[in-house]
Structure formats: structure tokens, C-alpha cells
């Protein structure tokens, strides 16, 4: 192999670069998310869809909501329980889940996702 | 379903009395439509919204009250800069608003009259024609909507609008909460916790209070103006020949901004 | 073929490093803008497009101008241009890339740029501009690359390239026509609302593009052992002369229509640009410089003796580039926004 030494060194540098996130985070365990429900949410018993659906796909639902509300002018949503909800992140979702830091942020931080919803939509004021 | 101003006010009044949100107001307005909206039938069908402004009744003080109410309702920051300012509703004199509808000897009082201006919600909107992402489009009921989720900030719509109705977020509007020089003039921003703010890099403008119409309420400026002077601003459905807007347009002489451009504005001014 | 670009003398590397430094500076400024928003550009709700879009417009012209060497060679079999078509094609590539970047940096929300493709909107001219520019870029990359590598190997380029070359010729016209339509279809912007916007754009493009190419040829001859040829430069000079005369002619047509008809909206921007309006006249000296350069260029290009002499032709080319750059890259886009829809003057300076 011509220039074998150089190639191997180059490969090692690349490998090290790709593995750097693992070295960086080695030994640190991220806090397991523990989303909390507010009293209002507990009382309501159910969200607009089943808990399973909401856990895995709330963002799909929110995306659908924002498109149908803003673009199609359909403002109301019939939940699984037959109840009709006003489709609004700020006014419906966060009325119940008024504890963003203890609910939304729990998983978002764990998964390291940064939804830009809050660039515009106003977070609820949480009393500490 | 004919919704004229009085019905609107009644409904709005009742729902305020009951102290409950839009749902009630809407149910009173039209039973079953709330259900329809949840079944994917939009609230916009069969309408053609328009606004009539009585320039005799709208004096400068009243216009300023409307502007403040509108900007508070929609969390429009006060950026205190001619270049960066964002405005949905503002005031302008007749002379500059209607450059082609005057002459040297037009009555002094008219030439210098202050009128409220905002998006005209044109029937033939150039802004929607040019938008490359359909971020701004015309709803069935004629409202020119903005989808700030989709806007890429190319500002083609601002070049296309012949009325200067559109503003751009040259910076992050939320900086008024932290910037020392702007904090003072925006003490309680964002004022309306039920409406979002915008982010930097998107275009925004008057939306005819689409979010209030969905609850059976009139646009904020109309509500504020009529609260002080009856029928200073009239909002209603042009598609309904019995509506108050149609009646008043039939009875009084009205003009629109730059009619020669063929954009067909839906804002009428009684002179 | 790229390995050839990695060989050169000290001067070559110095030049590359210098260019890299400029690019780095641009990237750093862009990062600042990305964080702060477009407020750092001096644009406003009245003049909502500024330097970025006007540079984009000017560079579309440079890109389209490259076709002025491709067309005579392939369609009129003007053999002499064979040597410099490659220069024209690569000039077009560089210019189109810059165009696309200028649009990109002008966006308020660049991360959402894919929305243009995800929600295709055929009624938006900007959508079509995106399409024609990208295809023109690909066309020139494929053609330029294949023709250049064929020439290096001393063989004829593959025959499937030929149809692409023929396609690229009308395509060059299309990119500048579509760019003109961005402006010419807007109600209420009287300065732009003119049917000869596209021809005017093309004329200035076919003057400025080949003018830049002439300068490029003269530089290439100086710094390398490749000689683009005397005959070629002479012919290009003729093309520049015709195109620039047409450009000025079109501009004068606009002036005639505006002032003879006397319709106020059509005259306002001209008055603002050349005399100042309501006491605002930031662009006035620039516009008069543009006019002065235009006169110099016209004289040097029309008089045969000065056009055929390379030194004076070079001066004429510089004058053409400066004149069209001020006219199109400054006055046209910014002037179109002044006065604003309320007939008030709000000025812009980057």
C-alpha cells in the first residue's frame, strides 16, 4: 500500500471524529423523562385522543390542526370521546397542560428536540 | 345565514355576559356549524366579508384607539422605528391614501382628513398571485390569510401589494421583551395570551380578525369603533343582499383605494 | 480534471487564499445576519428588497450574457469563438451560483427554502425563476465540464451534448425574461410595470456579460499562456456595442413614454432617481455617474478606431459594466420602491 501510514492515520482521525459524541457523553446518564399532569388534566381524565396516540403522535395531530385551522378554517375538532374541542395549541392544549416545563419539556429535552412552536406561540406562565 | 352588525353585537354581548369562550357565541350564532367545523366543513363557506368605514365618524382619536386595540389583540410590538415597524392597522391622511381621487381645489377638510388603513382583502389579490409557497392565499370568504408557519420571507408579496399593507419581521419581535431601549414602550408584551406572536423573517398583516370571526365576534377595530360611535365601521357579508354593508353601500357614496389597478379592494370608505 | 486546479504558482495560490478570505468574511457576516435577522441590512417595510435582490438581478444578466459567445459559435458556426465558449459557460456557472446565493441570503427564513418545492405554486414567478435558474446551472455545468474535458483530451465532445447546447441558448434568454417578469407583472409599481422590461434586461445583459468576458480574456492572456485571440475580442466588442446601444435606446423609450404621456406615477421614480423627489436624492449622483459612464462607453464603442483598439475597448467595457451595474444593480430595484404606495419617499441605503 502506497502511503499506508498516512491513510491509516487519516482513517483513525475520521473514526475518532464520528465516535466523538459517544466519548463526549460517556458515563453521563440523561435524566429519564417524567412528564407530570396538572390537576385540570387529571380531572379531565382523557386528552383529545388516546394517551398512546398522544404520546407517540401528538406532533402529527398538532401539524394537522395547524394546517386545518389556519389554511382550511376548520376550527373545531371532535375528540375520541365525542367532545368538541377548539383547535388551539395555546388555548386548548396548554390550558390543561399549563406546566410546560414539567410536561412538554421533559421528553423534548430527553430526545433533544427543539420544536419551534414556542418561537411564536406563547408559553403558559408557570407558578413555581 | 345573514350576520349583520346588530346580531353580531348581540351575540358578542351575550357570550361576554356568560363569560365563556367562543364556543357558546358560535352556537348561538348558528346551531350546528360548530359540529360541521369538526366534520371538516370550514366556517368560511358562503360568505364574502367586507368593511365599510365612515370617514365622518372616524376621527383621529377614535382611529388611534382602534389601532391600539388591534395591535394589543394581535401582539404587534411597538418597534419605534420607521424602517422596522410592524403595523396591521394605521392612520394616513386622505391625500396620501387616495392619490388619484383629489385635485388642487378639493375641500381642505377632506384632503387633510385622517383615515384608517389596513389590508384591503382584495378580491383579486396580487400578493397571493406572487407568493411562491402559498403562505398567503384567499379564503372562500374573501379573507387574505397569512400562514406564518410556511412563509420563507422572500417579501415578494410586499413588492406586489399596491397598498403597503404588509410588514416584515426584520428582527425577532420578542426582542422587545429584553431589549432595554424597547422594553419601556412594550411593558406588557405579548399582551394577548390567546394569540401568538410572530418569529423573525416572516411577513404579517391584518387578517380581518379571522380568529374572532370563528367565534362569532366582529373584528376588534369594528368593535372598538362602534362602541364609541354607532356605525363608524361596519363589517359584514357582501354576498348577502340584506346585510348592513350592502344596505349602506346602496345608500351612500363610497370609494376604494386605487380602483384603477383592478385588485378589487373590500374596504369601502364613505366620504 | 479537478486535480489541475490544485497546481499553480505562488501567485495563483495567493489569489485563491485571498478569495477564500473574502468568502470567509461573507460567511461570517451571513452568520451574524442569520442570528439578528435581516434588520441589519437597512431594508424597510417600504423598500423591502435591496442590494441582495438587485445584485441577483444584475448577475442573472451576466449569466445570460455568456450565451453571446455560445450562440455565434454553435448556431452561426463562428469558428473563432470555439476557444472562448468555455469561458462564457463557466462565467455563466459562477454568475448563476451567485444569483442563487443572493436569493438565499435575502430570505427571512432560509431553513424553509424547500417549501418552494414542497408546495409548488405555478402562478408565482419566483417559483419559475427557481426552476429556470437551477436548470440553467445544471445545463452549463454538464456542457462546460464535458466540452472542457474533451478539449483537454484533444477529442470532440460527445454528440449527446449538442442538443443540450442548443437548449441552453433559448434557456439563457428565459432566465432573464423570467427575472424581468418578477418585476413587470406587479400592479402599483409603475416604474417596473412596462412591457419592455424583459428586452431591456436582455439588452443590458448582452452588453454587460460580453464586456466582462472581454476583460476576462484580456486578463487571461496576461496571466496565462492561453490566448483567446485578437479576432474574438474584436467580434465581442461589436456585440457589446450593439447591445449597449439597444440598452440605452430602450431606456430612452421608457423616458419618452413616462414624460410625454405625463402620467404622474410613471414619472415619479425617474424624477427621484435623476433629480430627487421631495428633497430626497441619495441615488441621484449615482444615476448621473451611470449616465456619464454610458456616454463614455457609447463614444468608445461607436467610434470604430477606439472599439478595435484593445486598450480603449477595455476602458469602454469597464464603463459599460459600471453603467449597467448602477442602472440595474442599484437604480432599477430600489427605485421601483420609491415613492412608496402612499406616494411618500422612504430611502434605502445598505
pLDDT in tens, A50-94: 989 999 999 999 999 999 999 988 888 988 888 888 899 988 898
Angle between helices C51-65 and C161-184 (to 10 degrees): 150
Reference C269, options C330, C178, C322, C202; nearest CA is: C330
Tell whether A7 is covered by a domain: no
| Residue pLDDT, tens place only, C1-52 | 677 777 778 888 999 999 999 999 999 999 999 999 999 999 999 999 999 9
Q: What's the confidence (pLDDT) of residue B30?
A: 60
Cβ-Cβ contacts under 8 Å, B199 against chain A: 116, 119-120
Q: What's the confidence (pLDDT) of residue C238?
A: 93
* Cis? peptide before C339, omega within 30° of 0: yes
Provide the domain count of chain C: 2
My answer on whether C93 and C242 are in the same domain is yes
Provide the domain count of chain A: 1
CA-CA distance, B97 to B92, in Å (whole number)? 6
Tell whether A65 is covered by a domain: yes
Q: Kindly indicate the confidence band of residue C232, based on its pLDDT and cuts at 50, 70 and 90.
A: confident
Bridging pattern class, strands B203-204 and B167-168: antiparallel
Helix, strand, coil shares, percent, chain A, to 5 = 55, 5, 40
Nearest residue on chain C to B154, alpha-carbon basis: C107
Say yes or no: B172 contacts chain C, CB-CB below 8 A: yes
DSSP 8-state secondary structure symbol assigned to residue B170? S
Q: Which three cell numbers stand for residue B237?
A: 357579508
Which residues 48-67 in chain B show a CB within 8 A of chain C? none
Say yes or no: C134 contacts chain B, CB-CB below 8 A: no
Q: Which three cell numbers stand for residue B184?
A: 419601556
Q: Which three cell numbers stand for residue C124?
A: 408565482
Say yes or no: B201 contacts chain C, CB-CB below 8 A: yes
Mutation site, B90, B128, B132, B136, interface C, largest C CB count within 10 A: B132
My answer on whether C117 and C22 are in the same domain is no
Q: Which residues on chain A place their C-beta less than 8 Å from a C-beta of chain B?
A: 66, 68, 70-78, 84, 86, 90-91, 116, 119-122
Tell whether A75 is covered by a domain: yes
| Cβ <8 Å between A120 and B199 | yes
Cβ-Cβ contacts under 8 Å, C113 against chain B: 152
CA geometry: angle A105, A110, A111, nearest 5 deg: 100
| Cβ <8 Å between B214 and A116 | no
Say yes or no: B261 contacts chain C, CB-CB below 8 A: yes
| Cβ <8 Å between B34 and A76 | yes
State which CATH number among 3.30.470.10, 1.10.1040.10, 3.40.50.20, 3.30.70.20 fits the domain covering B5-270: 3.30.70.20
Residue C113: pLDDT over 70: yes
Distance of CA B242 to the CA centre of its chain: 23
Core vs surface per residue C117-154: b (16+ CB within 10 A) or e: eebebeebbbbbbbbbbebbbebbbbbbbbbbeeeeee
Task: Give the whole-number percent of chain A exceeding pLDDT 90.
Answer: 32
Tell whether A37 is covered by a domain: yes
User: What are the residues whose beta carbons fall under 8 Å from the beta carbon of A77, sequence distance 6 or more?
Assistant: A48, A65, A84, A85, A86, A87, B38
Q: Which three cell numbers stand for residue C53?
A: 435582490
My answer on whether C100 and C30 are in the same domain is no
Tell whether A12 is covered by a domain: no
The three state secondary structure string of chain C is CHHHHHCCCHHHHHHHHHHHHHHHHHHHHHHHHHHHCHHHHCCCCCCCCCHHHHHHHHHHHHHHHCHHHHHHHHHCCCHHHHHCHHHHHHHHHHHHHHHHHHHHHHCCCHHHCCHHHHCCCCCCHHHHHHHHHHHHHHHHHHHHHHHHHHHHHCCCCCCCHHHHHHHHHHHHHHHHHHHHHHHHCCCCCCCCCCCCHHHHHHHHHHHHHHHHHHHHHHHHHHHCCCCCCHHHHHHHHHHHHHHHHHHHHHHHHHHHHHHHHCCHHHHHHHHHHHCCECCECCCHHHHHHHHHHHHHHHHHHHCHHHHHCHHHHHHHHHHHHHHHHHHHHHHHHHHHCCCCCCCCCCCCCC
DSSP 8-state secondary structure symbol assigned to residue B98? S
Is residue B210 helix, strand or coil? helix
Q: Find the length of chain B.
A: 271
Residue C334: pLDDT over 90: yes
Of C37, C49, C113, the CB nearest to B159: C49
Helix ranges (H only) for chain B are 5-18, 22-29, 33-38, 60-73, 94-97, 108-111, 126-130, 156-160, 180-183, 210-213, 220-228, 244-251
Mutation site, C43, C110, C191, C342, interface B, largest B CB count within 10 A: C342
My answer on whether C169 and C182 are in the same domain is yes
End-to-end CA, chain C = 40
My answer on whether C126 and C84 are in the same domain is yes
CA-CA distance, C235 to C268, in Å (whole number)? 39
User: What are the residues whose beta carbons fall under 8 Å from the beta carbon of C184, sequence distance 6 or more?
Assistant: C192, C193, C194, C195, C197, C198
To the nearest whole Å, the CA of B257 is away from the closest chain A CA by 27
Burial of C332 (0-12, 13-18, 19+ CB in 10 A): buried
Query: What interface predicted TM-score (ipTM) does this complex get?
Result: 0.89
| Residue pLDDT, tens place only, C286-325 | 999 999 999 999 999 999 999 999 899 999 999 999 999 9
Domain that holds residue C53: 45-336
CA-CA distance, C145 to C72, in Å (whole number)? 20
Q: What's the confidence (pLDDT) of residue B4?
A: 53
Domain that holds residue A109: 33-120
> Strand pairing partners for B114?
B93
Tell whether C3 is covered by a domain: no
DSSP 8-state secondary structure symbol assigned to residue A42? H
My answer on whether C59 and C74 are in the same domain is yes
To the nearest whole Å, the CA of A88 is away from the closest chain B CA by 9
Q: What's the confidence (pLDDT) of residue A1?
A: 67
My answer on whether C38 and C156 are in the same domain is no
Q: What's the confidence (pLDDT) of residue B20?
A: 41
Is residue B65 helix, strand or coil? helix
C94 close to B99: Cβ distance less than 8 angstroms: no
| Residue pLDDT, tens place only, C62-102 | 999 888 888 888 888 888 888 788 888 999 999 999 999 99
Of B97, B151, B201, the CB nearest to C38: B201
My answer on whether C27 and C176 are in the same domain is no
How confident is the model over C116-145, as a mean pLDDT? 94
DSSP 8-state secondary structure symbol assigned to residue B209? T
User: What are the residues whose beta carbons fall under 8 Å from the beta carbon of C13, sequence distance 6 or more?
Assistant: none
Q: Kindly indicate the confidence band of residue C229, based on its pLDDT and cuts at 50, 70 and 90.
A: confident
Q: Which three cell numbers stand for residue B233?
A: 365601521
My answer on whether C38 and C134 are in the same domain is no
pLDDT in tens, chain B (271 residues): 345 555 554 554 444 444 444 443 444 456 567 777 777 777 777 789 999 999 999 999 999 999 999 999 999 999 988 889 999 999 999 999 999 899 999 999 999 999 999 999 999 999 999 999 999 999 989 999 999 999 999 999 999 999 999 999 999 999 999 988 888 889 888 899 999 999 999 999 999 999 998 888 899 999 999 999 999 999 999 999 999 999 999 999 999 999 999 999 999 999 8
Measured in degrees and rounded to the nearest 5, phi and psi for residue B170 equal: -65, -25
Amino acid at each position: 500500500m502506497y502511503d499506508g501510514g498516512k491513510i491509516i492515520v487519516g482513517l483513525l482521525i475520521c473514526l475518532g471524529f464520528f465516535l466523538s459524541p459517544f466519548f463526549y457523553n460517556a458515563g453521563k446518564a440523561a435524566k429519564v423523562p417524567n412528564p407530570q399532569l396538572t390537576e385540570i388534566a387529571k380531572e379531565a381524565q382523557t386528552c383529545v385522543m388516546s394517551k398512546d396516540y398522544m404520546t407517540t403522535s401528538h406532533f402529527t395531530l398538532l401539524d394537522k390542526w395547524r394546517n386545518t385551522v389556519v389554511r382550511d378554517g376548520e376550527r373545531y375538532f371532535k375528540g375520541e370521546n365525542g367532545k368538541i374541542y377548539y383547535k388551539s395549541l395555546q388555548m386548548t392544549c396548554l390550558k390543561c397542560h399549563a406546566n410546560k416545563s414539567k410536561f412538554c419539556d421533559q421528553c423534548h429535552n430527553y430526545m433533544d428536540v427543539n420544536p419551534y412552536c414556542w418561537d411564536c406561540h406563547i408559553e403558559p406562565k408557570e407558578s413555581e | 345565514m345573514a350576520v349583520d352588525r346588530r346580531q353580531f353585537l348581540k351575540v358578542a354581548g351575550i357570550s361576554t355576559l356568560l363569560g365563556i369562550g367562543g364556543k357558546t357565541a358560535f352556537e348561538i350564532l348558528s346551531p350546528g356549524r360548530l359540529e360541521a367545523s369538526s366534520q371538516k366543513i370550514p366556517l368560511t363557506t358562503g360568505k364574502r366579508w367586507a368593511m365599510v368605514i365612515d370617514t365622518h365618524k372616524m376621527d383621529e382619536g377614535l382611529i388611534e384607539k382602534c389601532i391600539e386595540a388591534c395591535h394589543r389583540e394581535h401582539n404587534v410590538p411597538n418597534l419605534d422605528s420607521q424602517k422596522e415597524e410592524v403595523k396591521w392597522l394605521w392612520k394616513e391622511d386622505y391625500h396620501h391614501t387616495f392619490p388619484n381621487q383629489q385635485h388642487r381645489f378639493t375641500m381642505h377638510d377632506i384632503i387633510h382628513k385622517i383615515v384608517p388603513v389596513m389590508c384591503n382583502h382584495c378580491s383579486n389579490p396580487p400578493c397571493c398571485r406572487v407568493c411562491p409557497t402559498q403562505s398567503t392565499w384567499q379564503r372562500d370568504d374573501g379573507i387574505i390569510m397569512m400562514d406564518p408557519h410556511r412563509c420563507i420571507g422572500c417579501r415578494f408579496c410586499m413588492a406586489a401589494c399596491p397598498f403597503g399593507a404588509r410588514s416584515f419581521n426584520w428582527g425577532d419581535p420578542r426582542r422587545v421583551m429584553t431589549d432595554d431601549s424597547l422594553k419601556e414602550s412594550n411593558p406588557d408584551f405579548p399582551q394577548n395570551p390567546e394569540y401568538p406572536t410572530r418569529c423573525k423573517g416572516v411577513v404579517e398583516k391584518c387578517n380581518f380578525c379571522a380568529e374572532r370571526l370563528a367565534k362569532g365576534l366582529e373584528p376588534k377595530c369594528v368593535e372598538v369603533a362602534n362602541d364609541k360611535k354607532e356605525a363608524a365601521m361596519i363589517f359584514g357579508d357582501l354576498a348577502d343582499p340584506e346585510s348592513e354593508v350592502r344596505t349602506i353601500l346602496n345608500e351612500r357614496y363610497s370609494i376604494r383605494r386605487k380602483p384603477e389597478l383592478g385588485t378589487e379592494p373590500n374596504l369601502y370608505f364613505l366620504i | 480534471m479537478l486535480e489541475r486546479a490544485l497546481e499553480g504558482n505562488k501567485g495563483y495560490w495567493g489569489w485563491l487564499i485571498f478569495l477564500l478570505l473574502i468568502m470567509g468574511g461573507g460567511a461570517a457576516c451571513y452568520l451574524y445576519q442569520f442570528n439578528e435577522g435581516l434588520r441589519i441590512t437597512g431594508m424597510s417595510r417600504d423598500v423591502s428588497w435591496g442590494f441582495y435582490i438587485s445584485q441577483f438581478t444584475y448577475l442573472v444578466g451576466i449569466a445570460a450574457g455568456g450565451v453571446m459567445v455560445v450562440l455565434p459559435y454553435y448556431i452561426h458556426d463562428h469558428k473563432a469563438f470555439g476557444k472562448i465558449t468555455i469561458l462564457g459557460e463557466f462565467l455563466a456557472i459562477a454568475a448563476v451560483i451567485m444569483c442563487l446565493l443572493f436569493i438565499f441570503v435575502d430570505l427571512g427564513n432560509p431553513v424553509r427554502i424547500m417549501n418552494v418545492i414542497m408546495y409548488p405554486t405555478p402562478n408565482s414567478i419566483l417559483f419559475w425563476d427557481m426552476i429556470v435558474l437551477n436548470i440553467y446551472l445544471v445545463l452549463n455545468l454538464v456542457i462546460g465540464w464535458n466540452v472542457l474535458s474533451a478539449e483537454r483530451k484533444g477529442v470532440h465532445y460527445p454528440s449527446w451534448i449538442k442538443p443540450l447546447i442548443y437548449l441552453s441558448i433559448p434557456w439563457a434568454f428565459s432566465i432573464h425574461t423570467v427575472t424581468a417578469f418578477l418585476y413587470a407583472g406587479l400592479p402599483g409599481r409603475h416604474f417596473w410595470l412596462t412591457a419592455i422590461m424583459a428586452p431591456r434586461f436582455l439588452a443590458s445583459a448582452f452588453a454587460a456579460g460580453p464586456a466582462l468576458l472581454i476583460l476576462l480574456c484580456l486578463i487571461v492572456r496576461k496571466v496565462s499562456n492561453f490566448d483567446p485571440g485578437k479576432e474574438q475580442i474584436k467580434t465581442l466588442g461589436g456585440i457589446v456595442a450593439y447591445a449597449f446601444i439597444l440598452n440605452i435606446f430602450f431606456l430612452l423609450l421608457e423616458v419618452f413614454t413616462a414624460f410625454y404621456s405625463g402620467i404622474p406615477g410613471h414619472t415619479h421614480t425617474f424624477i427621484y432617481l435623476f433629480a430627487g423627489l421631495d428633497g430626497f436624492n441619495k441615488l441621484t449622483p449615482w444615476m448621473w455617474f451611470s449616465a456619464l459612464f454610458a456616454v463614455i462607453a457609447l463614444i468608445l464603442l461607436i467610434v470604430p478606431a477606439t472599439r478595435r483598439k484593445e486598450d480603449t475597448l477595455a476602458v469602454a467595457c469597464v464603463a459599460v459594466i459600471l453603467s449597467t451595474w448602477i442602472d440595474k444593480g442599484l437604480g432599477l430595484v430600489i427605485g421601483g420602491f420609491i415613492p412608496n404606495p402612499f406616494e411618500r419617499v422612504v430611502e434605502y441605503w445598505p
